[in-house]
Amino acid sequence: MIGSIVHLSDTHFGGEADLSMIVAIENLIPDLEPTATVVSGDLTVRARHGELQAAAAFVRELERTAPVVVIPGNHDVQWWWRPLLPFSAALKYRKYCTYFGPDATPTLSLPEVFIASAVTAHGVAWGSLTLQPRDIAVKGHLPANEIQRVAELFHQADPAQLRVLVLHHNVLPGELSRRMGLARWKRAQQRIVESGAELVLCGHDHQESIGQLGDKVVVSCTGTCSTRSRGDRPSVFHKIGWDAESIQIEQYRWDGERRRFIRADVYVFARQSEVHAARVSARAS
């Protein structure tokens, strides 16, 4: 393997975090030796200071092993701050940014991997609105200018780097929820495929899923480290490794009796992007 990423999501610090899982992850991470760790949003329940402080302490512990990329989810956004009014976007993320830095869409560039992120949690915003009242402040959307910004970053990345996009909302349909995380999801999927991403990391659905977009972008949607696993199924997080030819996703499933995560199923995908294919053919010629 060239590198690996531990992908966590939906810790929901507050009344819903499962602290035995949090402790198990903190203990296991050094043994997994990731190149980087990603937490794809919903760190809290209601973006309260105490919840954000607990989440920040968890991230600091993860950073003892490898760099960590963190983005906000819909539960981390103070969407009730002047919803639908112009110039209010920064206010929604202000409290989150107090704890995780001024950039809600961080980028991490390492020799093996280029990780970019995009905010899909916009609270009550025009792009996230649907005809379903229960979607308000829950559904996300991927604005054109946001994915364009990411595409330009990927274009500048070294071809030797795996190009990874981190989002909060699930871009594959939930098996049990039967829901997509994003409004106007077909357009969002197309934009992701066109962005040059090779791997998408997301969460939100509270049920793990693995698949592809456009038969070439691998998607890791990881479960929750909270008591709200969908269907009361055992929680799952992912470790993703890659080499020149493939991307491999290992699932770690929670064993409640032994209070530890156990390595479970493994999925392997051939790397398919045009940039990667060009690199392989150049090496062969």
What's the length of the chain? 285
CB 90 within 8 A of CB 109: no
Q: 53-82: which residues touch Fe ion (CB under 5 A)?
A: 73-74
What is the rounded CA–CA span in Å between residue 263 and residue 254? 9
Site string for Fe ion, 190-229 (x = CB under 5 A): --------------x-------------------------
Q: Rule CB under 5 A: is residue 238 a binding residue for Fe ion?
A: no
Q: Which of 5, 8, 10, 35 binds Fe ion (CB under 5 A)?
A: 10
Candidates 42-50, 154-162, 172-180, 214-222; binding stretch for Fe ion (CB under 5 A): 42-50
At its nearest, how many Å lie between Fe ion and the CB of residue 282?
Answer: 41
At its nearest, how many Å lie between Fe ion and the CB of residue 224?
Answer: 6
> By rule CB under 5 A, what count of residues binds Fe ion?
5
At its nearest, how many Å lie between Fe ion and the CB of residue 75?
Answer: 6
CB 209 within 8 A of CB 230: no
In DSSP terms, which residues pair with 209 in a beta bridge?
221
At 26, the amino acid letter reads: E
At its nearest, how many Å lie between Fe ion and the CB of residue 122?
Answer: 12
Pick the closer one to Fe ion by CB: 26 or 135.
135
At its nearest, how many Å lie between Fe ion and the CB of residue 283?
Answer: 40
Q: Rule CB under 5 A: is residue 241 a binding residue for Fe ion?
A: no
Pick the closer one to Fe ion by CB: 74 or 207.
74
> Buried b / exposed e across 129-159, counting CB within 10 Å, b at 16+?
eeeeeeeebbbbbbbeebbeebbebbeebee
116: tokens are 């970019």
At its nearest, how many Å lie between Fe ion and the CB of residue 35?
Answer: 25
Measured torsion, CA atoms of residues 167, 37, 93, 220, in degrees rounded to the nearest 10 = 20
Q: How large is the greatest C-alpha to C-alpha distance in the chain, in angstroms?
A: 58
Q: Rule CB under 5 A: is residue 16 a binding residue for Fe ion?
A: no
Shortest Cβ contact with Fe ion: which residue? 42
Candidates 37-45, 52-60, 78-86, 157-165; binding stretch for Fe ion (CB under 5 A): 37-45
CB 162 within 8 A of CB 242: yes
At its nearest, how many Å lie between Fe ion and the CB of residue 216?
Answer: 26
Beta strands in 147-259 (DSSP E): 162-166, 199-202, 209-213, 217-221, 236-242, 246-255
What does the binding site for Fe ion look like in residue numbers (CB under 5 A)? 10, 42, 73-74, 204
